[in-house]
């Protein structure tokens, strides 16, 4: 791991050094492209229709790998290890007001979201170390919250890793789905 990390370092840094000189080549779109979801759902569209509250409540920004006939949970995404909930940069969640997850008060601001999936439950982690790549440098010291949520089986498989919000009586659920499972993280405000 250490060795691969230093190889990575050299390669990435040489890329940066080389790229300072000019804008000759342009980066291609990503294979696991980024996406975002708001609550209220589709806030930006509501906003230009003048149907939105003054600020959104929460926004999640994540990257979307595709299943492509692979076994995801237990193989591609290993059980029991910290996962960035997507691909590329770690998933980011931005709260525009103070909220509660379970009994924990979460202050307005942005955080990195990880999960430790197992067959029956996922541990959702909110961590205050932002602007990070993957879960390589994840440090439990910076956790704000760890909470367990139950895995639900879904009948219609989800090909592309997906997140969205749904309205609930107490606020919203962040729904996360891929392959044949779904989890719901309740957020109240």
Partner 1 sequence: MHRMMYPQIKACISFAIACCIFLNSCHSDNKAVQLADTTAKTPPPIRYEPIAAVSSLDKSPMDVIYFPPEYPKLKMLDSIKTPPVFRIFYSRPQRSGRKIFGNVVKYGEHWRLGANEATEIEFFEDVYIQQTKIPAGRYILYCIPQPAEWTIVINKDLYSWGLKIDTNKDIFKFTVPTIKTEKPIEEFTIDATQSGAGADLWIGWDDTKIVLPVEIRNPKP
Touching partner 1, residues 96-125 (CB under 8 A): none
SS3 51: coil
Q: Which stretch binds partner 1 (CB under 8 A): 51-59, 101-109, 118-126, 141-149?
A: 51-59
Using the rule CB under 8 A, is 48 a contact of partner 1? yes
Question: Among 39, 58, 60, 64, which residue interacts with partner 1 (rule: CB under 8 A)?
Answer: 64
Q: In angstroms, rounded to a whole number, what is the distance separating the alpha carbons of residues 151 and 117?
A: 9
DSSP secondary structure of 76-139? TB-TTS-B-SSSSBPEEEEESS-EEETTEEE-SEEEEEEEEE-SSEEEEEEES--S-BTTTT--
Q: Which stretch binds partner 1 (CB under 8 A): 100-108, 119-127, 141-149, 161-169?
A: 161-169
Query: Residue 18 contacts by C-beta under 8 Å, 6 or more apart in sequence?
Result: none
- The nearer residue to partner 1, 9 or 105, going by C-beta atoms, is 9
Query: Residue 39 contacts by C-beta under 8 Å, 6 or more apart in sequence?
Result: 56, 57, 58, 59, 165, 167, 172, 187
Question: Among 147, 160, 186, 189, which residue interacts with partner 1 (rule: CB under 8 A)?
Answer: 160
Using the rule CB under 8 A, is 46 a contact of partner 1? yes
What is the smallest separation between the CB atom of 188 and partner 1, expressed in angstroms?
20
Q: In angstroms, rounded to a whole number, what is the distance separating the alpha carbons of residues 172 and 149?
A: 15
What is the smallest separation between the CB atom of 89 and partner 1, expressed in angstroms?
5
Question: Among 39, 58, 60, 61, which residue interacts with partner 1 (rule: CB under 8 A)?
Answer: 61
Using the rule CB under 8 A, is 38 a contact of partner 1? yes
What is the total count of residues that contact partner 1 (CB under 8 A)?
A: 79
- The nearer residue to partner 1, 103 or 156, going by C-beta atoms, is 156
The residue to which tokens 């959702």 are assigned? 124
What residues from 77 to 96 belong to the interface with partner 1 (CB under 8 A)? 77-78, 83-84, 87-90
């Amino acid at each position: 791991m250490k060795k691969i990390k230093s190889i990575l370092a050299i390669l990435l840094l040489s890329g940066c050094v080389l790229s300072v000189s000019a804008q000759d080549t342009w980066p291609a779109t990503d294979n696991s492209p980024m996406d975002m979801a708001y609550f209220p759902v589709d806030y930006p569209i509501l906003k230009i229709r003048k149907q939105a509250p003054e600020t959104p409540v929460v926004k999640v920004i994540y990257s979307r790998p595709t299943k492509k006939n692979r076994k995801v949970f237990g193989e591609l995404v290993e059980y029991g290890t910290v996962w960035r909930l997507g691909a590329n940069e770690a998933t980011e969640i931005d709260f525009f007001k103070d909220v509660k997850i379970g009994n924990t008060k979460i202050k307005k601001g942005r955080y990195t979201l990880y999960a430790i999936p197992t067959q029956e439950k996922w541990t959702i982690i909110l961590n205050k170390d932002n602007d990070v790549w993957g879960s390589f440098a994840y440090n439990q010291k910076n956790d704000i919250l760890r909470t367990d949520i139950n895995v639900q089986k879904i009948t219609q498989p989800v090909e592309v890793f997906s997140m969205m919000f749904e309205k609930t009586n107490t606020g919203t659920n962040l729904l996360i789905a891929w392959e044949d499972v779904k989890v719901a993280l309740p957020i109240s405000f």
